[in-house]
Structures are given as C-alpha cells and as structure tokens.
Amino acid sequence: MKVIILGGGFCGALIAKKLERINNISATLIDKKSYFEYQPSLHKAIFKPSYITKIRKEYSSFLKSTNIIVEKIKTVTKKYIETTNRKISFDLLVISTGIDYPIFLKNKKNVHILKNGYEAFEISKKIKKSSSILIVGGGVIGTEVAGEIVEKFPNKNLTIIHSQNKFLNRLPQDASDYVLNYFIKNGVEIIFEDKVIENKKGVFITKNGRRINAELCIWCAGIKNNPYFMKNFSELCFSERNALNVNDFLQLKGFKNIFIGGDITNIFEEKTARKSELHAKIIVKNIKNIINKKTLKTYRTGTSPMVISLGDFRGIIIYKYVFPGLFIPGILKRLIQWWFIRILK
C-alpha cells in the first residue's frame, strides 16, 4: 500500500516513523525542508543559537525506510499529488502541513516571526543590539518569548501589545493573572485590546492611535490555514478559517483515503505537540485498520497538560488547575522536549 505524508512536523514525522514498523506499506514523506524542528522550544534558540542542535533532526537520521522528498507541494487531488518536480499516486494520503504565521504589515523591516531556527538566529543577532523591543501577541508564543527577554535581558525596554483583554486568553484566568503580574513586576509595558496596523520607520502605529518606538518587533500574533494545494476540492472540505474539516476518524470529510493531522485540522482544541502526537496515533491505527479491514478508531479530544515557560525555570503548569512557580515548570518543559525528540529515535 502506498502512503504519502505531506508535512514533516511532529504529526507527519511521527506517522512516518510508526509506519516503518508496518509490513506491506511503502511510505513517502514530502516536505520543503530536510529536517524536523521541535517548534515549542524555538524561543530558547533566540537566546542560545546552539540550542537549535538539540531540537533539529534530519529526517534521514530517524526515517530509515521512508522515501523522503524535499520539494514544495504544488497540487493535491484525490488520487495523486504533484510537487515541483514529480507526480505521485497514492492509496492513502496524510495531510499534516501545519499552519502559516503571517505578518500583517506591509513594511516588515525589523519585524521578525519565530517560525523556524533560521528566524530564531536572526532575532538573536538583533535582540542584542536593540534597546527597545516590541512583542505583538500575548498568546503562548508571545508570553514565552517575553519571559525569556525579561530573564536574560532585564534592562531592555520591552512592550507587549495584545488584541485581547488578557494574556493566554483561551486558558484559565489564574494563568493570565500570573503572567500579567510577573511582567508588571519586571517593568514590562503592557497594552491590551489594541493591535499594530502600520510600521512607519520603526514607529509602530496601533488601531487606537498609539505610536510605539521599537528597534525590533517580534510578531507572535495570528495564524493562517493555507492548504493552497487543494484548490480542486469542494468548499465543504474547508472551515470558515480555511482549516480542513475532518470526521471522527480524522479523515477529510467526504474522503476515506485522505487523513488530516496536526494544526491544520478544524478540531477546536489547543494546537500542541501533544495533540499532534495523539492525531498521529489515531491515523496510524486507522491505516492499520483499513489494511486489516477492521472498524476505524474514533479520535476524542480532551484536556492535555500544558507547560508555559517564563525563562529557564519559572513558568506555569496547566492541567485542570493552574500551578505557577519556579524550577518545576522549567524542568518539566525540558523533559517534555526530551520525550518528544526521543520518540523519533
């Protein structure tokens, strides 16, 4: 059976790894890059560029029998996919291409987004030279980047602007309050319920008319579902935000031979590495069930623990309740990273 996996993030890479243990499957992984990066720890690489070696692994180092194609995806149909240089048919397809992180500004000078190790390196070079820094977005990524700056560069003039009325707005109020109080205590300027709409020569203008001077802007706001390669599919396959609609078995709605995993699904849940791992397990199980002509397994979303770091050791553990503090959150964050990287070995 020919299985093609589009996207080598955590979900796609783990599916490829697990499929190598199943007989009679010929698996192909297609990604525009040749390596896996553990994105939840990218903010660490801003302040220690060598850290990227701990969270980046070449696909060829852990995928021994999978065919790896490093090319851009051009078109997907219900029977074949096209890349830059080839056309490949499949029996089963897995789409786990993730999401885009766009910068919603025309002028992007001195504006960076933490989407990969190369961007982390660029931010690292500029952050040391910048006395004033603006972080756009107060979700998990913005909070963790700000936490690192507060700890490692306490003398920087740091401003955070967030379009919502609290940090981590999808998480419990206690978590938001802890982050707010920590940043206030450390002299961070915080702006809620406003957003940056223009970059005018290093002056960032907001919707409410504020003018923020910053030598460096780290953009941590907004995501974009971008399955650009699926133009031939019915609009019923896409959510209002262009995510891919799935059924209870993580199949693309209306297609029994196409599975969807990772951040690009329309499932209402926190988009975390743990959720991607659970998607991968269900998809692999259902591929086996298709081969063995068994009933497919249902995916059930639920609450998973989250750890949000504020520097090397301080942070918050969230699992039904909020547990803020020193040492344990930071240590747990490292253990989770170690565990996920280890799974791919």
Contacts with 255 (C-beta within 8 Å, 6 or more apart), sequence order: 78, 237
Amino acid at site 254: G
Res 310: pLDDT: 96
Phi, psi of 123 (to 5 degrees): -65, -40
Amino acid at site 160: I
The 8-class DSSP code of residue 216 comes to E
Residue in 136, 189, 180, 123 with CA at minimum distance from that of residue 159: 189
Q: Is the pLDDT of residue 227 over 90?
A: yes
Res 117: pLDDT: 94
Share of the chain above pLDDT 70, in %: 100
At 313 the three-state DSSP class reads coil
| d(C-alpha 283, C-alpha 94), whole Å | 8
> In which band, very low, low, confident or very high, does the pLDDT at 305 lie, cut at 50, 70 and 90?
confident
Q: Is the pLDDT of residue 325 over 90?
A: no
> In which band, very low, low, confident or very high, does the pLDDT at 327 lie, cut at 50, 70 and 90?
confident
Contacts with 34 (C-beta within 8 Å, 6 or more apart), sequence order: 58, 59, 60, 68, 70
Residue in 337, 339, 299, 280 with CA at minimum distance from that of residue 16: 280
pTM above 0.85, yes or no: yes
**Residue 138: both structure tokens together:** 């107060």
| d(C-alpha 139, C-alpha 344), whole Å | 28
pLDDT in tens, 108-144: 999 999 999 999 999 999 999 999 999 999 999 999 9
Q: Is the pLDDT of residue 303 over 90?
A: no
pLDDT, the chain, mean: 96
pLDDT in tens, 139-158: 999 999 999 999 999 999 99
Residue in 337, 344, 272, 345 with CA at minimum distance from that of residue 54: 337
Instruction: Give the domains, in start order, of the chain with CATH numbers.
Output: 2-100+224-304 (3.50.50.60), 111-222+306-338 (3.50.50.60)
Res 320: pLDDT: 83
Res 321: pLDDT: 87
Res 304: pLDDT: 84
Res 126: pLDDT: 95
Q: 189 - beta bridge partners? A: 159
| d(C-alpha 33, C-alpha 49), whole Å | 19
pLDDT in tens, 180-224: 999 999 999 999 999 999 999 999 999 999 999 999 999 999 899
Res 333: pLDDT: 92
Share of the chain above pLDDT 90, in %: 93
Consecutive H or E run containing 322: strand 321-325
Q: 92 - beta bridge partners? A: 3
